[in-house]
Structure 1
Amino acid sequence: MVAFQLTIDCADPEAQARFWADALRYRIEAAPDGFPTWREYWLSVGVPEEELGKGDCCDSIVDPAGEGPRIWFQQVPEGKVVKNRLHLDVKVGGERAEVPLETRRERVEAEAGRLVAAGASRLRVLAEPGVDHYGVVMRDPEGNEFCVA
C-alpha cells in the first residue's frame, strides 16, 4: 500500500478543515505531542509567523478510524476560477445491488440538506429517468464542487 495525503488549495484552511471534517465525519488533526496548537508547533520548527495566517493553524483532518487519507488544506493566494479537476464524492446512498433507488435518493437528500446547513450549496441533481442513480452536485463554502451520492 502507498500512503498518500490529499491536499486541497483554499483561502481559509481552518474554515475548510472544519467544514470537511463535518462533511466526511473526520476530525481536526491534533497538534503534535507537546504542542497545544499547530501554530506553536510550526513556530517551533522555524516557520515564520507571517506564513502562518490567522488562528491556530488547524488545517488538516484525519479519519478517526484511520482508514481514509489525511487531508491538508493549503492556503493559496489565488481564488478558485474554473471547475475542479478533482472532486470528492460523499457516498451515503448505499450500493445499487443492496439499496433501492428511492431509499438512496432519500439518504442523498438528507445528507445534502445536512451539508447545506453546514455551509455548502446545491448546484444540481444528477438523475435521469430509467437510470439507477441519484446524486446531488454541491459546492463547499469556497466553491469547490463535490458530489453526494
Structure 2
Amino acid sequence: MDVTLQLTIDCADPAKLVTFWTEALGYVPEPAPGGHATWRAYWADMGVPEEELTEGVGEGPESIVDPDGQGPRVWFQRVPEGKAVKNRVHLDLKVGGGRGVPLPERTRRVRGKVDRLTAAGATVLRVMDEPDMDYYGVVLRDPEGNEFCVV
C-alpha cells in the first residue's frame, strides 16, 4: 500500500506560517492546482459548499511543498482555538551536519539558521549546550508558538 505523508499544523493564520516555514524549510508555497488563481476557486470548482469556504480561506497559499519533491507537503489548517499546551510532536531542523562535523562548526551552522529564523518571527526558548556533551541545539517557537528544534 502506498502512503503519502502530509504534515498538518493547526493555526490561526496560515499565511503567516506559510511565510515563516518556507524560510525555515526551504519549501515553496503550493500553487492552486489546474491553473486556478486561488485554492478557493479550486475548491469551489470541486463542489465544496460556500459555507465551508469562510472568509479568507483559500485566498492565499495554505500549504507548502518541497521544490525537489522529496519532503512531505505541509498544510496549515486554520482552527478557531489557540495553542494551549506543549507540542507532543515537534520538528527537528538538522542543519549542523551531525557528529562527524566538529562542534564549533555545527554550532556556527545552528546559530546562523537560528538568526535567520528569529529574524523571520521565531523566538528562542532555550539553548542546549551542556558542557562536555559535544552537542549544540536550540529550541524555538514559530510565530504561533509551535515548538521546534534546530540542531
TM-score with structure 1 length normalisation?
A: 0.93
Alignment of 1:1-149 (within 5 A): 2-52=3-53, 53-54=55-56, 56-97=59-100, 99-149=101-151
Secondary structure at the counterpart of residue 34 of structure 2: coil
Cα displacement (A) at 1:46: 2.7
Q: Secondary structure at the match of 2:96?
A: coil
Alpha-carbon shift at residue 141 of structure 1 (Å): 0.2
DSSP 3-state at the match of 1:33:
helix
Percent identity reads: 63
Tell me which amino acid in the other structure corresponds to 1:30.
Answer: P
Separation (CA, whole Å) in 1 of partners of 2:124 and 2:51:
35
The amino acid that maps onto 2:125 is L
Q: Deviations over 1:48-103 (max 9, x none)?
A: 44533416141111001111001111111110011001111111110212x10011
Deviating above 6 A after TM superposition, structure 1's stretches of 4 or more consecutive aligned residues are: none
In structure 1, the gaps of 5 or more residues are none
Question: How well do the aligned residues superpose, as a CA RMSD in angstroms?
Answer: 1.4
CA distance in 1, matches of 2:3, 2:40: 29
Paired AA for residue 143 in structure 1: G
Gaps in structure 2 of 5+ consecutive residues:
none
- Once the 2 structures are TM-superposed, how far is the Cα of residue 146 of structure 1 from its aligned partner? 0.4
Question: CA–CA distance in 2 between the matches of 1:50 and 1:122?
Answer: 39
Residues of 2 paired with 1:50 and 1:119: CA distance?
32
| SS of residue in 2 equivalent to 1:67 | coil
